[in-house]
Amino acid sequence: DAKGSPTMEGFLEFQQQLRSAERQPCLSPWDGCHGTLRGSSLSLFWDKRTAAENMAPVATLDLRGAQCERPGHQHGRRYAFSLRLSSRVEMPWAAPSEGQAESGIPALSSTA
């Protein structure tokens, strides 16, 4: 359930400007956050400490109906992936390592 223990958590980078389904160029900088996946919700915190202290997340994404994939071009990041939400908003993300990308993408995909 969404309030239970996280099924996955860790550091993620994301592009601050969201892209529309029309794939408009994304020139904004990358920023980092701590992500916690519970049920079909991905909660984003500024850091691991705020997540551990159960502070309110900066944002929570509903992943129901979302698609997670490794894009053909990597958005300027080595371990990049994309989340396309059911609202058709596409969000570029990057994991800090190949191992986290390889474990995170299936977890996000199975949630979506």
Q: Read off the CATH number of the domain in which 41 is found.
A: 2.30.29.30
Number of C-beta neighbours around residue 62 at 10 A: 15
Domain hosting residue 106, numbered range: 8-111
- Whether residue 55 contacts residue 45, with contact meaning beta carbons closer than 8 Å, is answered with yes
Q: Is the pLDDT of residue 104 over 50?
A: yes
The pTM of the whole model exceeds 0.75: no
Does residue 13 lie in a domain region?
yes
Write the DSSP assignment of 20-73 as a string of letters.
PTT-----PPEEEEEEEEETTEEEEESSHHHHHTTPPPSEEEE-TT-EEE--SS
Residue 36: phi and psi, rounded to 5, are: -130, 120
pLDDT tens per residue across span 16-61? 654 444 444 444 567 889 999 988 899 999 899 988 898 899 889 9
- How far is Cα 5 from Cα 99, in angstroms, rounded to an integer? 21
pLDDT mean over 85-91: 85
> What Å distances lie between residue 83 and 24, 42, 63, 110, CA to CA?
15, 11, 9, 12
Examine the pLDDT at 71 and tell me if it is beyond 80.
no
What's residue 16's pLDDT? 62
For the segment 58-80, the average pLDDT, to the nearest whole number, is: 80
Does some domain include residue 3? no
94 lies in a domain?
yes
Q: Does 72 map to a domain?
A: yes
For position 67, what pLDDT does the model report? Answer: 87
Select the more confidently predicted residue: 21 or 14. 14
Q: Is residue 105 part of a domain?
A: yes
Q: How many domains does the chain have?
A: 1
Q: Is residue 22 part of a domain?
A: yes
Per-residue pLDDT at 5: 58
In a domain, 93, yes or no: yes
